[in-house]
């Protein structure tokens, strides 16, 4: 499907290999590869997608009511971490603003309390025991990933006439293929500010992939989020027909916490709060780009987290609020996570809901509003 997907994770190998990624067209991929082969290093942020031809425009006209989909996934963000849900020292104004205009799901559960299985289920709609992505997460030495016979959201969407194809359904990918703790912790804040957590010092440094090419290694965490956000904005701003699918899994707020200079040291919650505020900024930037491009009303923005907070890291982990336990457990705090859907054309704003999110979306796609 056409779109950027910023895959993340701790996992999910090619999908899941591609944790934290953004997807682009085949032509762009070739340009990127040529650039890397020519020693030019990073991909230019100025990449543009093809202008649609007449046939594509016709398809667009005939399906103009199909919504865009933007899936924003936080990493290890707990039920009680957002200021919207009542945390006393979190500061997430951009997410809160979006949530207030959304339908907030108070009983949203993921399928697993850890990264890769949860993300595999999110992308395939199947329990992780069926795809085999369980019980652990994908690591740097994994040679396999999500089975190629699995059908992802992107694969399904690209069969719609307007969504462009590619493997696993995404056209463009930018990201680190696993979690940032699965490599040596070099610097998590500006001026070589140290990382305040345990990392895999024995493993290779974390790579930044642009599609199939490594464009930076070790990846600079202090600028990573800003670059992923800019890549997403470039995608949203580039000329192309709707609908599109953008999958943006942030590395925040998985440990080790990191942030750019703009967010370093500004939070009452310490390094966790710095990371959370950079996540909040990124969500605001994506929503702003959608608004500027006139996409907001016909775009489903779904914000959620892959699992609950890492309680073992105490103040450097998140909060499950009043729920019991967190990541790695199947108590409420491990699998019940923040979730809201912003879709002005179809979903009423400012309401909470304890019903099944997917059922509501299916109903809305058939028409109507609730
Ligand atoms: Ca996670």
For the stretch 287-346, pLDDT in tens is 999 999 999 999 999 999 999 999 999 999 999 999 999 999 999 999 999 999 999 988
Ligand 1 centroid–CA 153 distance in Å is: 19
Ligand 1 centroid–CA 243 distance in Å is: 28
The pLDDT assigned to 274 comes to: 98
Ligand 1 centroid–CA 35 distance in Å is: 33
DSSP string, 240-269: -PSP-EEEEE--TTSSSP---GGGTT--TT
pLDDT at 230 over 50: yes
Q: Hey, how many other C-beta atoms are within 10 angstroms of the C-beta on 149?
A: 6
The pLDDT assigned to 357 comes to: 59
Ligand 1 centroid–CA 114 distance in Å is: 5
Once rounded to an integer, what is the mean pLDDT over residues 218-235?
97
pLDDT at 186 over 80: yes
Ligand 1 centroid–CA 255 distance in Å is: 9
Residues 33-49: tens digit of each pLDDT: 333 233 332 233 333 33
Among the ranges given (48-52, 176-180, 238-242, 263-267), the one the predictor scored with the smallest mean pLDDT: 48-52
For the chain, percent of residues with pLDDT exceeding 90: 58
Once rounded to an integer, what is the mean pLDDT over residues 336-361?
79
Q: For residue 236, what are the CA distances in angstroms to 4, 22, 70, 239, 293?
A: 9, 12, 10, 8, 7
Ligand 1 centroid–CA 140 distance in Å is: 16
CA angle 303, 198, 89 (to 5 degrees): 45
Ligand 1 centroid–CA 307 distance in Å is: 5
Distance in angstroms (rounded) separating the CA atoms of residues 97 and 92: 9
Instruction: Give the residue carrying structure tokens 């005939």.
Output: 62
pLDDT at 118 over 80: yes
Distance in angstroms (rounded) separating the CA atoms of residues 350 and 223: 34
Ligand 1 centroid–CA 310 distance in Å is: 9
Ligand 1 centroid–CA 28 distance in Å is: 30
Ligand 1 centroid–CA 241 distance in Å is: 33
The pLDDT assigned to 280 comes to: 98
Distance in angstroms (rounded) separating the CA atoms of residues 245 and 260: 27
Ligand 1 centroid–CA 155 distance in Å is: 23
Ligand 1 centroid–CA 159 distance in Å is: 29
Ligand 1 centroid–CA 142 distance in Å is: 17
Distance in angstroms (rounded) separating the CA atoms of residues 44 and 49: 13
Ligand 1 centroid–CA 324 distance in Å is: 17
Ligand 1 centroid–CA 34 distance in Å is: 34
What are the residues whose beta carbon lies below 5 Å from ligand 1 (ion)? 75-76, 115, 306-307
Q: Hey, how many other C-beta atoms are within 10 angstroms of the C-beta on 71?
A: 21
Q: Which long-range contacts (C-beta less than 8 Å, at least 24 apart) are formed by 128-133?
A: 133/12, 133/13, 133/16
Residues contacting 5, CB < 8 A, separation 6+: 18, 21, 22, 23, 154, 170, 172, 173, 245, 246, 247, 248
Structure pTM? 0.78
Distance in angstroms (rounded) separating the CA atoms of residues 26 and 164: 10
CB-CB contact of 22 with 211 (8 Å): no
Once rounded to an integer, what is the mean pLDDT over residues 190-216?
91
Beta-bridge partners for 162: none
């Amino acid at each position: 499907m056409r779109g950027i997907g910023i895959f993340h994770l701790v996992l999910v190998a090619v999908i899941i290999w591609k944790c934290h990624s953004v997807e682009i067209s085949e032509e762009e991929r070739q340009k990127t590869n040529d650039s890397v082969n020519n020693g030019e290093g990073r991909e230019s942020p100025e990449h543009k997608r093809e202008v649609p031809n007449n046939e594509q425009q016709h398809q667009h006209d005939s399906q103009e009511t199909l919504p865009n989909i933007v899936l924003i996934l936080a990493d290890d963000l707990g039920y009680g971490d957002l200021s919207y849900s009542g945390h006393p020292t979190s500061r997430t104004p951009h997410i809160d603003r979006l949530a207030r205009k959304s339908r907030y799901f108070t009983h949203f559960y993921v399928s697993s309390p850890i990264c890769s299985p949860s993300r595999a289920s999110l992308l395939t709609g199947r329990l992780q025991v069926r795809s085999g992505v369980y019980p652990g997460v994908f690591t740097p030495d994994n040679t396999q990933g999500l089975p190629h016979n699995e059908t992802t959201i992107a694969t399904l969407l690209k069969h719609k006439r307007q969504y462009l194809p590619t493997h696993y359904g995404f056209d463009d990918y930018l990201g680190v293929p696993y979690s940032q703790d699965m490599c040596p912790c070099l610097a998590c804040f500006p001026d070589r500010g140290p990382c305040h957590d345990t990392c895999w010092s024995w493993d290779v440094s974390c790579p930044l992939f642009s599609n199939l090419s490594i464009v930076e290694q070790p990846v600079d965490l202090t600028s990573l989020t800003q670059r992923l956000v800019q890549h997403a904005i470039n995608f949203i701003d580039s000329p192309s027909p709707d609908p599109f699918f953008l999958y943006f899994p942030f590395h925040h707020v998985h440990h080790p916490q990191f942030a750019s200079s703009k967010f370093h040291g500004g939070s009452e919650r310490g390094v966790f709060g710095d990371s959370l505020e950079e996540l909040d900024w990124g969500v605001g930037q994506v929503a702003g780009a959608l608004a500027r491009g006139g996409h907001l009303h016909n775009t489903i923005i779904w914000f959620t987290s892959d699992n609950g907070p890492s309680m073992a890291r105490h103040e450097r982990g998140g909060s499950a609020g009043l729920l019991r336990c967190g990541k790695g457990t199947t108590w409420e705090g491990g699998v019940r996570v923040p979730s809201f859907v912003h879709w002005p054309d179809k979903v009423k704003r400012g309401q909470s809901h304890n019903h099944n999110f997917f059922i509501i979306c299916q109903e809305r796609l058939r028409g109507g509003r609730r």
